[in-house]
Amino acid sequence: MDKFTVTQQGINHNEIPAFVANWFSGDEALENKEPDSLYYEASGGLDQLLICKIEWQNEKPDQERFNQIMDEAITAIDKWISDRM
């Protein structure tokens, strides 16, 4: 199984600590921003990404591990988008 499963507006991290979440890009990223979300501005416009409604299936990781997983999640989403263009 892949480390991440990405769909049109969802992302799962399939390794411990596992999570399911929603993601948005472009203008939808700002419209759906909430306190516990991860916002990635990139160069702005369509490059903006938001991972939100993160539901951890295991204990939430410490901040350093959280940042690492979210960086990998942003890369997985970006690749998913690029593969469809």
| pLDDT tens string 2-11 | 999 999 989 9
Q: Residue 19 contacts by C-beta under 8 Å, 6 or more apart in sequence?
A: 12, 13, 54, 55, 56, 57, 69
Number of domains in the chain: 1
If residue 29 lies in a helix (H) or strand (E), which one and from where to where?
Answer: helix 27-31
Burial zone of 65 (CB within 10 Å; 0-12 exposed, 13-18 middle, 19+ buried): exposed
Q: What is the pTM of this model?
A: 0.87
Q: For residue 66, what are the domain limits?
A: 4-83
Q: DSSP secondary-structure letter at 17?
A: S
Q: Residue 59 contacts by C-beta under 8 Å, 6 or more apart in sequence?
A: 17
pLDDT, one tens digit per residue, over 14-52 is 999 999 999 998 888 888 888 888 888 876 667 889 999
